[in-house]
Amino acid sequence: MNHERLVGVMRQLALEAGDRIMDIYNADDFDVKVKSDDSPVTEADEAADALISAGLRAAFPDMPLVTEEQAESHGQSVDTFLIVDPLDGTKEFINRRGDFTVNIAYVENGVPVRGVVYAPARERMFFTQADGASVEEEGPFDREVVGALNPIRVSEPDNAALMVVASKSHRDQATDDYIGKYGVKDMTSAGSSLKFCLVATGEADLYPRLGRTMEWDTAAGQAVLHGAGGQVVRFDDHTPLRYGKDGFANPFFIAFAPGVNLKGA
């Protein structure tokens, strides 16, 4: 895989999808349907998926593609592949809260190694460069010309005063109980894969997820976090979170800056 070309294609497709998503987001109304798993899907999810999928298949026709909105792609058995969540944080989108992202990632041998996370309503874009290092691009964004890039790096956490980020839509008592094991200075909530990016930039130190996620929810954010020096491990045994799992479902996990003294389950 030519990583320089890959990153360029992913960035451009994320911006194009973001423009389409925002056209729908800013409309007076939009259609919301319910999928077979009772999760919502909007016309923005579907439009962004069609755009990104077509672009990736044209650019990388021999690379397996897994995308949330195409159920037929979920039966593959792969460990090197492209993976897409065209609109992560659909509930945030429906409620017009802004914390939704476009996620595109490349997984190699079970590890997300390149990715882009674009939050069009927040005007924030994070991605891994060709060398794997993560950056945040300054807006306004141009599809053809890359703007100023700011390298991002995880924090050097103070374990007596950690900054913790948790889900905005999926917070529960088990998560609060686990967070209670740490010395916490402050807590913030965020939707979608932005939580990974807040750890990557040092705006948070710890993001525990004790709830259902799929690999397309997390791959791009994990790639960005890895490229900023962070880690993502399983909640149960603290081994690295791997990709290409049967059905692409994740176990509970913890994303963190390496200086955090992780607590057991």
Of 42-46, 153-157, 181-185, the poorest mean pLDDT is in 42-46
Q: The CATH number of 162-256 is which of 3.40.190.80, 3.40.50.880, 3.40.50.2300, 3.30.450.40? A: 3.40.190.80
35 band by pLDDT with thresholds 50, 70 and 90: confident
pLDDT at 39: 77
> Is 68 flagged in the annotation as binding?
yes
3-151 and 162-256, same CATH topology: no
Q: Confirm or deny that 29 is annotated as ligand binding.
A: no
Residue 209 has pLDDT above 80, yes or no: yes
52 contact partners, CB below 8 Å, separation of at least 6: 13, 14, 16, 17, 67, 84, 86, 102, 104
Which CATH code for domain 3-151?
Answer: 3.30.540.10
pTM: 0.95
pLDDT of 136 above 90: yes
Among the ranges 18-32, 90-104, 179-193, 229-243, which has the highest mean pLDDT value?
229-243
Question: Pick the residue with more confidence: 15 or 93?
Answer: 15
* Phi, psi for 112 (deg, rounded to 5): -70, 115
Contact 108, 1 (CB under 8 A): yes
Which pLDDT score is estimated for 206? 98
Is 88 assigned a ligand-binding role in the annotation?
Answer: yes
Is the predicted pLDDT of residue 169 greater than 70, yes or no? Answer: no
- In the prediction, which pLDDT does 243 show? 98
Distance CA 201, CA 189 (A): 15
Average pLDDT over residues 106-113: 98
The answer to the question of whether 225 is labelled as a binding residue is no
* Amino acid 9: pLDDT: 98
| CA–CA dist 63, 17 (Å, integer) | 20
What is the reported pLDDT for 189? 87
Checking if the pLDDT of 36 tops 70, the result is no
Whole-number average pLDDT of the chain: 94
Confidence tier at 192 by pLDDT (50, 70, 90): confident
Give whole-number Cα distances, 103 to 17, 40, 67, 158, 224, in Å.
Answer: 10, 17, 10, 30, 11
Over residues 147-171, the mean pLDDT reads 92
Confidence of residue 210 (pLDDT cuts 50, 70, 90): very high
Write the DSSP string, 171-189.
--HHHHHHHTTS-EEEEEE
pLDDT in tens, 211-228: 999 999 999 999 999 999
DSSP calls for 207-256: EEE-S--BHHHHHHHHHHHHHTT-EEEETTT-PBP-SS-GGGB---EEEE
Alpha carbon distance 119, 194 (integer Å) = 8
The tens digit of pLDDT for each residue in 50-108 reads 999 999 999 999 999 999 988 888 889 999 999 999 999 888 898 888 999 999 999 99
**137 in a labelled binding site:** no
The domain locations on the chain are: 3-151, 162-256
Q: Is there a binding annotation on residue 217? A: yes
The full length of the chain comes to 265
265 falls in which pLDDT band (50, 70, 90)?
confident
Question: So what's the pLDDT on residue 31?
Answer: 78
Find out whether 49 is annotated in a ligand binding site: no
Spatial distance between the Cα atoms of 252 and 4, rounded to a whole number of angstroms? 32
